[in-house]
Amino acid sequence: MAHLQPLKFVQVLPVAKHTATVFFIHGLGDSGSGWEPVADMLSDAHPHVKWILPNARMQPVTINYGMPSPSWFDIYTLGDRSMPHREDEKGMLESVATIDAMIDEEITKNNIPSERIIVGGFSQGGALSMLIGTTTQRKLGGVIVLSGWLPLRTKIQSMISPYVKTVPIFQGHGAQDNVVQYEWGRLSYEYLKEKLGIKDAEPGKLKEGGIQFKTYQGLMHSASEREIADIGSWLKEVLPDN
C-alpha cells in the first residue's frame, strides 16, 4: 500500500483557533467539493473545526459497467447487503490506509490529537468511515455514517478496534433510500450492537461512546437539512470548542 500517492482534497478552514478536524468522505462518483456547502454550513456553529474533504481516485467500477469513476473501492453489485456478497477487500483496505495516513499527518503536522478528529462519510464514503471507525488503532473523536453500511462483516471481528465501544457514532439513513437500502443501514446498526458490543448512545453522554441511529422519513439517497442539523447538534457535544 506504500505505493499509493496522497489524495487531493478540499479544505474548509476554521475561522477560530484550530482545535479539531473532521474528515468527510464522499460517495461513489462524487468529489470532496460536493460536500463543501455542508462543511460551510456546519462551520458557522463550529468555528474551531477544520474540514478535510478528500477526493477518491478514478478507477473502473463494476456496477458502472467498468467505466472509471471516483471511487474508494470497487462495487460489484447493489444487491442485498444483509446476505454474503463479493466485496473489494483490497480496495477497501487501501482506502482505509490512505485516509489513516491523512489522519496521521493531521496529528503530527498540526498537533491535533486523534480524540479531536472525526471521520465521516456518505454512501460509499459512509461505509468506508464505518470501516475506519471500527478497525482503527487510534482513539478517534467520533464517526459519522450517512446512508452507509458496515462492509467486511465476515471479517470485521478479527480486525476490531480496541476503542470500538468508546467511540461516538452518528448514523443517519433515509427511510426511502432506493440505492443503499434503509434496511442495510439498520442491519449494520444492529450488527454493531449485537456482534461488536456497541451500546446505544445516551443523551447527554455522547462523548462516552455508543451509536446514535436516526431515521429520516421521506428521505431518499441524500442528506437533508434536518439530518445536517442533527449532525451539528451531535458535533457540539462530541467535539466541543476547547
CB 16 within 8 A of CB 241: yes
Q: Is 221 a catalytic residue?
A: yes
> How many C-alpha atoms does 170 have within 13 Å on its Cβ side?
25
Q: What is the DSSP letter of 103?
A: H
CB 68 within 8 A of CB 61: yes
Catalytic-role residue among 123, 147, 161, 188: 123
Q: Which 3 state secondary structure label does DSSP give 224?
A: coil
Provide the phi-psi class of 146: left if phi over 0, else alpha when psi is between -120 and 50, else beta. Answer: beta
CB 25 within 8 A of CB 39: no
Q: Is 123 a catalytic residue?
A: yes
Catalytic-role residue among 114, 221, 230, 241: 221
CB 123 within 8 A of CB 180: yes
Give pairs for 62-68: CB < 8 Å, separation 24+: 64/29
- What's the rounded Cα separation, in Å, for the pair 90 and 111? 31
- What's the rounded Cα separation, in Å, for the pair 69 and 59? 6
CB 116 within 8 A of CB 20: yes
CB 149 within 8 A of CB 75: no
What positions carry a catalytic annotation? 123, 177, 221
